Amino acid sequence: MTMELELSKFSTPTISDALDRLGIAGQVEGVYPAARGPRLAGRAFTVLYQPIDVDGGTVGDYIDDVPPGDVVVLDNGGRLDVTVWGDILTMVAQRRGLGGTAINGVCRDTDRALDLGYPLFSRSRWMRTGKDRVKVAGRQVPVVLGTVRVRPGDVLIGDNDGLVVVPAEREQEVLDIAMEIETVEEAIRREVELGTPLRQVRERLGYHALQTRRDG
């Protein structure tokens, strides 16, 4: 099983705690799912936008080049006034088996994503097109989501609680710690259900330090 699929077994809160333990700021602020339910998971395929200039340009026909399973990561500088994703892109992405879309900016035609159950994360939604307003400035280059730097191949996991980014070179460490955290928290749930006081079991299993950064 691929690493991104292994990581997708865990919730974003669990992965967030693992990132904290490692001192990795991978929690994406201000980018949320268009609807509850669809989980986003996959490696980043990045697209960078900039305002259009005298040379013109387009919003991009990159979608046919995104490998199945990858997540489209669009950086429009956090702009809320023009969109860079709509229903046709959603339809094609769904048919190609992509892992979802995450936008540092806004999307439109969200009903299509809701109907298809396609994982779509953005800062907000609005109807005004980015055509004739923004253009693609780069593909498969480092971009930003919220305040998190995303590089091609990094792993993104998204659920109802938000979005996290796992750097490709740290993914095994994050996975190992996520497994440890989930094991401890599941043990706490079992003991509490059997009547053990929460304070007692948390202290014994080290709950309050699961996410604490550890050097060395």
Model pLDDT for residues 22-79, shown as the tens digit of each residue: 999 999 999 999 988 889 999 999 999 999 988 888 888 999 999 999 999 999 999 9
Query: Residue 171: inside a domain, yes or no?
Result: no
* Span 65-101, pLDDT tens digits: 999 999 999 999 999 999 999 999 999 999 999 999 9
The answer to the question of residue 38 being in a domain is yes
Alpha helices in 97-216 (DSSP H): 110-116, 171-193, 198-205
pLDDT of residue 210: 81
Let me know if residue 70 belongs to a domain. Answer: yes
The answer to whether position 190 is within a domain reads no
pLDDT at 196: 82
Quote the domain boundaries for residue 51.
25-166
Mean pLDDT of 108-120: 95
Instruction: Give pLDDT, residue 202.
Output: 86
Contact assessment for residue 82 and residue 74, using Cβ atoms and an 8 Å cutoff: no
User: What does the pLDDT read at residue 55?
Assistant: 82
User: Which residues have a Cβ under 8 Å from the Cβ of 72 and sit 6 or more positions away?
Assistant: 45, 47, 62, 63, 66, 85, 93, 98, 100, 101, 102
**Number of domains, the chain:** 1
Instruction: State residue 1's pLDDT score.
Output: 59
Residue 118 included in any domain = yes
Residue 100 belongs to some domain of the structure? yes
Residue 42 belongs to a domain: yes
Kindly state whether residue 109 falls inside one of the protein's structural domains: yes
| Residue 216, pLDDT score | 56
Residue 138: CATH number of its domain: 3.50.30.40
Average pLDDT for 153-170: 97
Q: How many CB atoms lie within 10 A of CB 23?
A: 9
Instruction: Quote the pLDDT of residue 148.
Output: 98
Write the DSSP assignment of 82-120 as a string of letters: SBS--HHHHHHHHHHT--EEEEESEE--HHHHHHHT--E
